[in-house]
A and B are shown apart, each in its own frame.
Chain A
Amino acid sequence: MANALFDAGRAGFLGADIDWDANNIKLVCVDHTDDTPNVSTDDFLDDITAPARVATSGNFANKTKTAGVADADDITLTSVTGDQFESLVIYNDSPATEAGKHLIAYIDTATGLPCTPNGGNINIVFDSGANKIFKL
């Protein structure tokens, strides 16, 4: 596959269910041995099975949305252990239940993916080009 937005995420932006600025946005590292995300059929975090979630970030900081381009500070995942993961999934963590947390972006093409955690920190440096994290 390639990096893409989830259909549900795009719909979430249009339906004002996701507010990039105001909501808590996080990412989760996904082990495809346990669950391979599907950008067409997966819509909420409960569609990513718990065993597939190797690590979860904190909230994205200093988010921007200029010209429809989503950006934020780079992320550090601390002391990551667990299975090798093949993709990153960005989602809206603000809703109270997993069945309400919209999946936003799927990233399986990144320098350093797949990644096998070694117990150390993992820095995720977002694209500094025109697309940043993603562009609507």
Chain B
Amino acid sequence: MAGLVNLSIRAVSGRVLVIANAEHHWLIAWQDAKAHAVELKRAAQASLDPRVSYVIPAEIGAMALDVERAAALQIAASLHAAGAKAEEQADPQTVADQAAVLIRMGVPFGLSDDAKIQDEAWNAAQWSPELRKAPLVGVPSRERVGVPSLIQKPPRKLQ
């Protein structure tokens, strides 16, 4: 695609949906979205050229990018965030189970910001018959950290 493109990237039913100019769309597996987000970020940071070309395979076809470096970084960030959210949607029980194992091992950081998944993980860590065979390391904390917002202003123009 050429010219000005408005991209929308979001998680839908365990996959990542990318819509360009409300016309073209691609569905990408969450695994591919996360992996290609990392590669795209690396490519953008390593590129000496102000533009970055990159192809992301979709379930049908592929999304070919030819964008400025800053836009590539933003797309990579959005793809990674949507990929993580899609992973949660695709298999929340697995995410909770994996988080429960981490809690049981004494590494109590969550793998999701979804409160239901976090609660399920703590419940599983404390009450799952399988996990209770392993000693619970550390002390569960009910700490909560808020979710702030970052608002970026446009740079000041020189007079």
Residues of A within 8 A of B (CB): 1-5, 10, 33, 39-40, 79-80, 83-84, 86, 88, 105-107, 109-127, 129-136
Contacts and interface: CB of A to CB of B under 8 A. Distances in A.
A125 B110 contact: no
B107 to A, nearest CB: 6
Interface stretch (B3-11, B28-36, B52-60, B148-156): B148-156
Contact of A121 (B107, B118, B153): B153
Given A2-B118, A10-B141, 6 more contacts: A112-B151, A114-B81, A115-B152, A119-B156, A122-B151, A133-B145
Interface string B53-93: 00000000000000000100110010011000000000000
A115 B111 CA distance: 20
A113 B118 CA distance: 20
Given A10-B143, A40-B109, A110 B153 contact: no
Interface residues of B, number: 32
A83 B113 CA distance: 24
Q: Which among B111, B141, B147, B156 has the highest number of chain A CB atoms within 10 Å?
A: B147
Contacts, number: 122
B45 interface: yes
A134 B143 contact: yes
21 contacts: A4-B143, A5-B143, A39-B109, A79-B155, A80-B152, A84-B77, A88-B148, A111-B148, A112-B150, A113-B150, A114-B80, A114-B81, A118-B154, A118-B155, A120-B154, A121-B152, A122-B152, A125-B151, A127-B148, A133-B146, A134-B143
Contact of B148 (A39, A80, A110): A110
B145 to A, nearest CB: 4
A33 B39 CA distance: 12
A81 to B, nearest CB: 9
Nearest to B38: A33
Contacts of B141: 5, 10
Nearest to A112: B150
A117 to B, nearest CB: 8
B145 A5 contact: yes
Nearest to A83: B45
B153 A3 contact: no
B126 interface: no
